[in-house]
């Protein structure tokens, strides 16, 4: 009797053990299944590209390229052939100083060549010629009515108006009207010896000789500007 009662008890214990073990296994399997599902939802797999795919895939250059500077295109200028400039030949001016030749009652203006250095300007040439006229106005053959001590105070050439001559005060004194006319003629012809059609403006101590400022005691009135043609017509000189 004692052995018959113990067998069913042992069988029951064994069955309980088996059931507990099965439930434990089921629980473990269930928990592992939940973990696998969670991992499958959170882990993202990235496809790997093969070398061929990398070569074929277009590369975006929108943000990686450096912008090219906007440089204007300039056409090169043709190179000019440099040639040496030809020197302008110096002009030899030939001014003349005018003296007077007296033959009886006839008075004539006589030109005398003056040696001038080559290459000087017209102003310098005329200044030197007038100075020579004032310094050497007498010789054995010719004479002059220009008073001794007369000096050239200035001479300038204006391309618009003409030649401006300024003389010292000595020029206005001594002699009568004929002497006054011929002394003016000497200066006029000498100052226009390079350009015979030039306009001449004659002043004494900076004051222009005209209707309001006549020359000499007898009051020789000059209409400026003076020209050779006009002076011959006004005073009938030779």
Q: What are 2-54's pLDDT values in tens digits?
A: 445 556 666 777 777 788 777 777 776 667 766 545 554 444 445 555 555 54
**Residues paired with 102 in a beta bridge:** 107
* pLDDT averaged over every residue in the chain: 81
The larger pLDDT score, comparing residue 69 to residue 106, is at: 106
The larger pLDDT score, comparing residue 14 to residue 180, is at: 180
Other Cβ atoms within 10 Å of 203 Cβ, number: 18
pLDDT above 60 for 148: yes
Q: For the residues 187-193, what does the mean pLDDT come to?
A: 98
225 cis-preceded (ω within 30 degrees of 0) = yes
Can you read off the two tokens belonging to residue 114? Answer: 């003056």
The larger pLDDT score, comparing residue 48 to residue 78, is at: 78
The larger pLDDT score, comparing residue 6 to residue 190, is at: 190
Residue 67 is predicted with a pLDDT of 62
Q: C-alpha distances in angstroms, 202 versus 9, 20, 139, 166, 215?
A: 166, 150, 26, 6, 10
Residue 219 is predicted with a pLDDT of 84
Domain ranges of the chain: 96-235
Q: C-alpha distances in angstroms, 62 versus 7, 54, 66, 70, 85?
A: 86, 18, 9, 18, 59
Confidence tier at 86 by pLDDT (50, 70, 90): low
Give the pTM: 0.63
């Amino acid at each position: 009797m004692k052995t018959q009662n113990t067998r069913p008890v042992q069988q029951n214990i064994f069955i309980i053990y088996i059931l507990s073990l099965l439930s434990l296994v089921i629980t473990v399997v269930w928990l592992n299944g939940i973990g696998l599902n969670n991992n499958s939802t959170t882990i993202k797999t990235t496809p790997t590209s093969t070398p061929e795919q990398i070569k074929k895939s277009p590369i975006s250059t929108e943000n990686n390229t450096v912008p090219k500077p906007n440089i204007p295109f300039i056409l090169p200028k043709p190179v000019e052939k440099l040639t040496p400039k030809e020197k302008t030949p110096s002009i030899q001016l030939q001014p003349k100083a005018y003296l007077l030749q007296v033959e009886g009652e006839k008075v004539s203006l006589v030109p005398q060549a003056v040696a001038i250095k080559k290459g000087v300007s017209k102003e310098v040439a005329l200044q030197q010629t007038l100075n020579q006229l004032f310094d050497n106005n007498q010789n054995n053959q010719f004479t002059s009515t220009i008073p001794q001590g007369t000096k050239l105070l200035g001479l300038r050439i204006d391309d618009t108006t003409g030649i401006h001559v300024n003389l010292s005060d000595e020029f206005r004194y001594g002699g009568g009207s004929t002497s006054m006319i011929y002394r003016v003629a000497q200066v006029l012809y000498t100052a226009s010896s390079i350009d015979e059609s030039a306009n001449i403006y004659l002043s004494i101590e900076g004051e222009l000789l005209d209707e309001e400022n006549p020359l000499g005691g007898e009051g020789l009135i000059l209409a400026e500007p003076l020209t050779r043609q006009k002076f011959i017509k006004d005073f009938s000189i030779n």
